[in-house]
């Protein structure tokens, strides 16, 4: 009970408005400071500090709003990046230099390497071997059908582009975001269902095959840029090199990692567990790059090889796992990749109806291509539509593919043009947005049909 003279408690809505106002004020102050940064500074670290502050603040705010709306945080980070990168449309050009800042590009590249290392850590070789024939067939169909449809869309709507651009657009559509699908299934309490096991097993295989295809296409593009002609022999060599590296990294890494980590565990200093994991990740990423593959292929292979049992000799495992120690680093680096990806999207290209048509065609091809996965389900009683819908979201994996394509060139021209890049980003956003409600509807429909079947005499 309040006494006379007491200050009344603030209402929750008032407190929320106050916090929102403070956030807006803080961002406004940062924006006002940008012109001084854009003008340059003697110390290159000074503008980088402000750029990181803007990116991290907008990324976390966007991620928070997305989660509040029931969507993955990556969509909020991407959306706020798109806003920052297109403020020039209203006359503000303070963030334009971020699009080509080499230091931010380094942070972004490290972020995607750490992200793929985390994705690899969430799976093991044993899990891959136990997924069963359904997951394998679902994954294979989830690669072949989208690749063919993506290639077809590119040939149809962008005939002026090279065969390399067509191939890369097909490769982009092969991606499946195992992280987003896993999160949706967990939120729906369906992680232990047969559909979930097939989807997650297929998504892991899909990631590996997709990265190998990315390596093959990227290698062909790099060879063409150096003047080498495209032949069946060169494609065969690149393919063998990609599959060979992944197989060798897994086989040799699985054999050597336990011994190397046992030796590292003898160095009893704080942080040795995280340091050992990162050394292994960066070493395989470096080796992947040296053989002409994307560094993320090595990062994913490193995560796949390292299993929890390998770290039992470390004292730190009494209180932490490698994943938990890696989390603060990924919290810092990964949003930089997604926000910067959004910043590089030029929404002005959508004034061209052809680009809107390309985005729409890519969305349709991405959707139909993954629905082919349902024909790979062999077990009876499994809802095939749910499996197909679970393979739809491209999420962070699709964005990684698109960024690599935007960085590859042939004779000085980018393989993925800014207009195509923007269309791919829209495809990723839409396929990621529609998956949670579509999966929820499909699973509810399947459960209702199963319940009705049980009630029938």
Which of 61-70, 311-320, 339-348 is predicted least confidently? 311-320
Q: What pLDDT is recorded for position 24?
A: 56
- pLDDT confidence bin for 1, thresholds 50/70/90: very low
Strands (E), 8-144: none
For residue 10, the model assigns a pLDDT of: 47
Instruction: Give the pLDDT score at 20.
Output: 59
Report the pLDDT averaged over residues 334-353: 84
Signed CA dihedral, 107, 113, 117, 118: sign only: positive
Task: Give Cβ neighbours of residue 222 (< 8 Å, ≥ 6 apart).
Answer: 292, 408
What's the maximum distance between 2 C-alpha atoms anywhere in the chain?
Answer: 89
Q: For residue 457, is pLDDT > 70?
A: no
In three-state secondary structure terms, 410 is strand
- Express each pLDDT in 28-77 by its tens digit: 555 555 554 444 546 778 888 889 999 999 999 998 998 888 777 888 88
Comparing 192 with 414, the larger pLDDT belongs to: 414
Higher pLDDT, 456 or 142: 142
Under the banding of pLDDT at 50, 70 and 90, the label for residue 231 is low
What was the pLDDT predicted at 382?
Answer: 82
Q: How far is CA 242 from CA 11, 134, 416, in A?
A: 60, 25, 22
- pLDDT at 364 (0 to 100): 94
Distance between first and last Cα of the chain = 62
User: Between 91 and 358, where is the model more confident?
Assistant: 358
Which pLDDT value is given to residue 98? 87
Q: For residue 414, what are the β-bridge partners?
A: 409
For residues 358 and 23, give the distance between their C-alpha atoms in angstroms, rounded to a whole number.
37
Give the domain ranges of the chain.
15-100, 101-455
Alpha helix locations (H) across 174-294?
A: 178-187, 194-225, 232-265, 272-290
Confidence class of residue 242 from pLDDT cuts 50, 70 and 90?
confident
pLDDT mean over 244-261? 79
- What are the tens digits of pLDDT across the range 200-212? 778 777 877 877 7
Phi, psi of 166, rounded to the nearest 5 degrees: -60, -45
pLDDT in tens, 381-428: 788 888 888 888 876 777 778 888 878 887 777 888 888 888 888 888
- DSSP conformation class of 413: E
Residue with tokens 């080509």, as numbered in its chain: 100
Instruction: Look over the chain and give the mean of its residue pLDDT values, rounded to a whole number.
Output: 79
Tens of pLDDT, residue by residue over 68-112, are 887 778 888 888 988 998 888 888 887 888 888 889 989 988 988
Average pLDDT over residues 188-194: 71
Please, which pLDDT band fits residue 4 given cuts at 50, 70 and 90? very low
Tell me, what's the pLDDT at 300? 81
Looking at residue 117, what is its pLDDT? 86
Name the CA radius of gyration of the chain, rounded. 24
Residue 161: the pLDDT is 84
pLDDT at residue 369, as a whole number = 92
Whether domain 101-455 has CATH 1.20.1530.20? yes
Q: How does residue 316 score in pLDDT terms, banded at 50, 70 and 90? A: low
pLDDT digits 0-9 by tens, 125-159: 666 666 568 888 998 999 999 999 999 999 998 88
Lookup: tokens for 270: 């704080």
Token code pair at residue 261? 């980590």
């Amino acid at each position: 009970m309040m006494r006379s003279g007491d200050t009344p408690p603030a209402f929750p809505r008032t407190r929320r408005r106050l916090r929102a106002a403070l956030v807006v004020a803080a961002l406004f102050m940062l924006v006002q400071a940008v012109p001084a940064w854009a003008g340059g500074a003697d110390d290159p670290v000074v503008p980088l500090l402000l750029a990181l502050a803007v990116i991290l603040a907008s990324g976390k705010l966007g991620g928070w709003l997305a989660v509040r709306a029931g969507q993955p945080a990556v969509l909020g980070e991407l959306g706020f990046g798109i806003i920052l990168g297109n403020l020039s449309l209203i006359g503000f050009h303070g963030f334009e230099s971020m699009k080509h800042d080499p230091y931010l590009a380094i942070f972004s590249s490290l972020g995607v390497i750490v992200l793929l290392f985390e994705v690899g850590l969430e799976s093991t070789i044993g899990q891959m071997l136990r997924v069963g024939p359904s997951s394998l067939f679902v994954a294979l169909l989830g690669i072949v059908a989208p690749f063919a449809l993506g290639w077809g869309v590119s040939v149809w709507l962008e005939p002026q582009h090279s065969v390399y651009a067509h191939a890369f657009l097909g490769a982009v559509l092969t991606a499946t975001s195992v992280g987003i699908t896993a999160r949706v299934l967990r939120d729906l309490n369906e992680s232990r269902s047969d559909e979930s096991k097939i989807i997650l097993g297929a998504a892991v295989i899909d990631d590996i095959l997709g990265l190998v295809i990315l390596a093959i296409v990227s290698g062909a593009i790099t060879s063409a840029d150096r003047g080498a002609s495209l032949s069946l022999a060169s494609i065969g060599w690149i393919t063998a090199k990609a599959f060979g590296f992944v197989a060798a990294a897994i086989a040799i890494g699985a054999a050597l990692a336990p011994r190397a980590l046992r030796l590292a565990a003898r160095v009893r200093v704080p942080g040795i567990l995280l340091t050992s994991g990162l050394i292994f990740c960066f070493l395989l990423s470096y080796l992947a790059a040296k053989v002409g593959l994307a560094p993320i292929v090595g990062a994913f292979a490193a995560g796949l090889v390292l299993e929890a049992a390998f770290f039992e000799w470390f004292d730190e495992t009494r209180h932490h796992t490698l994943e938990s120690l890696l989390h603060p680093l990924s919290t810092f680096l990964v949003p930089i990749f997604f926000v910067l990806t959004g910043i590089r999207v030029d929404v002005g290209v959508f004034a061209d109806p052809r680009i809107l048509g390309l985005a729409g065609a890519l969305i349709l091809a991405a959707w139909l291509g993954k629905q082919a996965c349902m024909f790979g389900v062999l077990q009876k009683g499994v809802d095939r539509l749910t499996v197909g819908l679970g393979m739809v979201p491209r999420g962070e994996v699709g964005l990684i593919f698109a960024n690599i394509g935007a960085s590859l060139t042939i004779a000085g021209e980018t393989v993925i043009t800014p207009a195509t890049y923007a269309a791919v980003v829209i495809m990723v956003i839409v396929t990621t947005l529609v998956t949670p409600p579509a999966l929820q509807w499909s699973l509810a429909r399947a459960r209702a049909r199963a319940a009705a079947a049980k009630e029938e005499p």
